[in-house]
Amino acid sequence: MPKHKIAILFEYPTLNGGERSILSMIADSNRPLYEFVAIAPLSGRLARKLKELDLPHLPYDFRDGNGLKLSQERLQNSFRKIVSVHNIDLLHANSLAMGRLTGSLVPQLSIQCTAHLRDMMKLSRSAMSHLNRNAKLVAVSSATRDFHIAQGLEPSRCATIYNGIDSEEFMPGKKSGDLKKELGIRDDAFLILNAGQICLRKAQDVLVKAFAEVADRIPYAHLVLAGERYSTKQESVKFEQSLDETIRDARLEKRFHKLGFRDDIAAVMRDCDLLVHTARQEPLGRVLLEAATTRMPIIATDVGGTREILEHNFSAILLTTDNRSAFAEAMESLYRNPEKRNQLSTNAEKRIAEKFRLHDQREELFAMWNNLL
Give the range among 10-24, 62-76, 96-110, 249-263 with minimum mean pLDDT.
Answer: 62-76
347, 140, 233, 122: CA torsion to nearest 10: -120
Question: Looking at the structure, do residues 111 and 80 belong to the same domain, yes or no?
Answer: yes
Question: Looking at the structure, do residues 144 and 266 belong to the same domain, yes or no?
Answer: no
Per the domain annotation, does 46 fall within a domain?
Answer: yes
Domain of residue 326 covers 178-355
Per the domain annotation, does 201 fall within a domain?
Answer: yes
pLDDT digits (tens, 9 = 90+) for 17-75: 999 999 999 986 566 688 999 999 999 999 999 999 999 999 998 887 777 788 878 88
Per the domain annotation, does 171 fall within a domain?
Answer: no
Using alpha carbons, select from 299, 313, 309, 312 the residue that is nearest to residue 355. Answer: 309
Q: What is the CATH number for 139? A: 3.40.50.2000
**Cα 263 to Cα 261: distance, rounded to the nearest angstrom:** 7
Is residue 240 pLDDT above 60, yes or no? yes
Question: Looking at the structure, do residues 48 and 155 belong to the same domain, yes or no?
Answer: yes
- pLDDT on residue 74: 84
CA distances from 213 to 200, 217, 220, 280, 360 (A): 20, 9, 14, 20, 42
Instruction: Please tell me which residue, 99 or 32, carries the higher pLDDT value.
Output: 99
Residues 229 and 204: beta-carbon distance below 8 Å: no
Per the domain annotation, does 347 fall within a domain?
Answer: yes
Mean pLDDT of the chain: 94
Using alpha carbons, select from 295, 299, 291 the residue that is nearest to residue 333. Answer: 299
Per the domain annotation, does 271 fall within a domain?
Answer: yes
Structural domains counted in the chain: 2
Q: Which of 61-65, 170-174, 202-206 has the highest mean pLDDT?
A: 202-206
Using alpha carbons, select from 140, 156, 256, 158 the residue that is nearest to residue 198. Answer: 256
Question: Looking at the structure, do residues 144 and 210 belong to the same domain, yes or no?
Answer: no
Per the domain annotation, does 172 fall within a domain?
Answer: no
Question: Looking at the structure, do residues 349 and 365 belong to the same domain, yes or no?
Answer: no
- pLDDT on residue 27: 84
Question: Looking at the structure, do residues 230 and 320 belong to the same domain, yes or no?
Answer: yes
For residue 349, count CB atoms less than 10 angstroms from its CB and return exposed for 0-12, middle for 13-18, buried for 19 or more.
buried
Per the domain annotation, does 104 fall within a domain?
Answer: yes
Q: pTM of the full predicted structure?
A: 0.93
For residue 248, count CB atoms less than 10 angstroms from its CB and return exposed for 0-12, middle for 13-18, buried for 19 or more.
exposed
**Cα 356 to Cα 161: distance, rounded to the nearest angstrom:** 10
Question: Looking at the structure, do residues 134 and 223 belong to the same domain, yes or no?
Answer: no
Amino acid identity for residue 288 in this structure: L
pLDDT digits (tens, 9 = 90+) for 315-342: 999 999 999 999 999 999 999 999 999 9
Per the domain annotation, does 286 fall within a domain?
Answer: yes
Question: Looking at the structure, do residues 284 and 230 belong to the same domain, yes or no?
Answer: yes
Question: How many other C-beta atoms can be found within 10 angstroms of the C-beta atom of residue 311?
Answer: 14
Question: Looking at the structure, do residues 342 and 364 belong to the same domain, yes or no?
Answer: no
Question: Looking at the structure, do residues 92 and 149 belong to the same domain, yes or no?
Answer: yes
Question: Looking at the structure, do residues 224 and 331 belong to the same domain, yes or no?
Answer: yes
Question: Looking at the structure, do residues 143 and 282 belong to the same domain, yes or no?
Answer: no
CA distances from 128 to 72, 134, 149 (A): 17, 11, 10
